[in-house]
Amino acid sequence: MRIVYLPLDERFCTREYFLMFTKIAGLDILTPPRELLGSKKVPADTDALENWLLENVKTGDSLIISLDTLIHGGLIPSRINLIRSETIRDRLKIFSILKDRKVEIYLSTTVTRIPIYNSADEEPDYWEYYGETLSDMSKEFARYLESNNIENLSYKDILPEFLSENEERYQHIPKWMIEDFFWRRERNYNIIREVIELVNEEIIDFLNLTLDDNSAGSLSVYEAQQHRNFVKKLGLEEKISVHPGADETSLTLLSRFLCSKFQYAPSFELFYVHPESINLIPPYEGYPLKESVENHIKAAGAQIKSNGEILLLLNNTIDYSKYEVIYQDEVKVNEEEYEKILMQILKENRIVGIADIRYGNGADKRLVEKLLKESLDWKRMNYAGWNTVSNTLGTVIIHSIIQYFGEKGYLKLDMEELLKLQAIFFIEHWGYQADIRQQLRKDCVTKGCNVWTLMPAEKWAEEYTCSKLLPYKNAVEKALRKNWEMKVFFPWHRSFEVGIILS
């Protein structure tokens, strides 16, 4: 069973996480060389990728493909490019050609995000000056659509009336910016509709439709609800999942692929550290935590049971007011919570996945420090705590499912690679994201860098980060009883993402 994999983009978390999981599971994997992919705002050569697929896909292959890469050249290009709808529709024809080769197609795509702040780092240039204003306007527009019960979205027909009614509030925004923003959203919205039709025509076997960084009441959530309604109308709920996320989406599809191949849906029992707050909506998510967790597990091809075969322990919070990882040293915590977590883990004889979702963009440092001090079996347990709730969920779910299928004899796991990947997650999510990244951002200013770029002193930043991460690496090695050499790099030449190589 061979997998042909086209990632969301070239980052370490979107490409290498997936490849490392397939290596652990001993899967036959084919993916384009990194040089065929893009570089942040520079899109991949979509014609070259299409040719690569046509030349390499064989009868019986299983395809895990990011639509954003195939038709736009990457996640960021999907937000900023000016490709016409006609060109995209032409690119969609490749799926019918590939389907004729008797392949399975697992596809992912995103509902385009709408950042609530001013920055053009990953958006069109005007977002640097009007991003927050356009975000506020889009939320107001979503409320307008909701109140008028408008289902068949056509921005070019609806928007003029909305702007006319709110002329004084938004007249300071250049008209061309508003037109550009909504043109791109309508284009992407309509393309998703056409992909849903491909699922209905049984050309696409499964679609993972994720909402890139979003928030409650946003236009992204409104659009996603219209897609959900359309999916329900066509009776495709078992073939299309709509939920928050983005960077982890290929991991969810890998889970789905394995469950389908082995014709078995592993069951998860959920253990929330704070069950009283599962209906709160985490930042970047747009939906209650409980709903997101359930949708991620279902999308992965698994199920939830009260006495499940895998324990999914969710280190959630009761308060999102200081959710970002940089505030965690200011947050008062109850040490009994951590004792409760450890007691739950120590008594288990199941695969245990620990989804550390208490903070955004990094690990709960207290939790990791306590986990590493215990003598735990990391061949039957796993941990992740990075970026958003959905990023972490998708990672822990695939990790748990691979461990489960390995234990049951469906897969022969490479335990050395398994421990290496777990070490990378600890070093990155705990050491880098929760701590060293903040130090790097402060000290890099003296080298001419800033929060958006390390280019003026990237070699220095790599050496600095590697040195600062050594104590974390040592703690992880002691807990996992292993030793590695470590290198670090910055995939997008900025401090937000890091790549960690252990050898």
Residues 82 and 153 in one domain: yes
For residue 58, being part of any structural domain is answered with: yes
User: 358-417: per-residue pLDDT in tens?
Assistant: 999 999 999 999 999 999 999 999 999 999 999 999 999 999 999 999 999 999 999 999
Residues 305, 250 within the same domain: no
Q: Six-digit token pair at 172? A: 């300071």
The count of domains in the chain is: 3
Average pLDDT of the chain is 96
Domain boundary at 381, 413, 445, which? 413
Domain co-membership, 366 together with 295: yes
Domain encompassing residue 476: 436-503
Q: Is residue 431 a part of any domain in this protein? A: no
pLDDT category, 473, cuts 50, 70, 90? very high
Q: Which residues of 354-381 are buried (b: 16+ CB within 10 A; e: fewer)?
A: bbbbbbbbbbbbbbbebbbeeebebbbb
Shared domain for 249 and 318, answered yes or no, is no
Same domain, 222 and 152: yes
Is 135's pLDDT higher than 90?
yes
With CA atoms as reference, report the closest residue to 432 among 381, 382, 378, 491.
491
pLDDT at 288 over 90: yes
Host H or E run for residue 211: strand 206-211
Distance CA 216, CA 284 (A): 9
| Residue 273: closest CA among 357, 353, 397, 350 | 357
Average pLDDT for residues 36-55, to the nearest whole number?
Answer: 97
C-alpha radius of gyration, the chain, whole number: 22
346, 219: one domain? no
Q: Do 146 and 49 have their domain in common?
A: yes
Q: Maximum CA pair distance of the chain? A: 66
Let me know whether 343 and 367 are in one domain. Answer: yes
pLDDT at 211 over 90: yes
CA 320 – CA 305 distance, rounded (Å):
28
Pair (163, 47) in one structural domain = yes
Task: Mark whether 185 and 310 lie in a shared domain.
Answer: no
Q: Are 207 and 250 within 8 A, CB to CB?
A: no
- CATH number, domain of 382, equals 3.40.50
Closest by CA position to 425, among listed 351, 374, 372 = 372
Examine the domain organization and report whether 135 and 179 are in the same domain: yes
Q: How confident is the model at residue 149 (pLDDT cuts 50, 70, 90)?
A: confident
Q: Is 80 exceeded by the pLDDT of residue 127?
A: yes
What is the amino acid identity at position 53? L
Could you report the per-residue pLDDT of 69-108, keeping only the tens digit for each?
A: 999 999 999 999 999 999 999 999 999 999 999 999 999 9
What is the rounded CA–CA span in Å between residue 149 and residue 144?
Answer: 8
Q: Is the pTM of this model over 0.85?
A: yes
Q: Has residue 429 been placed in a domain?
A: no
Domain membership flag for residue 424: no
462 and 398 both lie in a single domain: no
Identify the pLDDT of residue 155. Answer: 81
Instruction: Look at residue 102 and tell me if it is in a domain.
Output: yes
Residue 335 to residue 324: CA distance in whole angstroms: 20
**Residue 333 has what pLDDT?**
87
Nearest CA among 23, 199, 19, 216 for reference residue 106: 199
Q: How confident is the model at residue 354 (pLDDT cuts 50, 70, 90)?
A: very high
d(CA 93, CA 453): 38
In degrees to the nearest 10, what's the CA dihedral of 289, 291, 294, 299?
A: -110
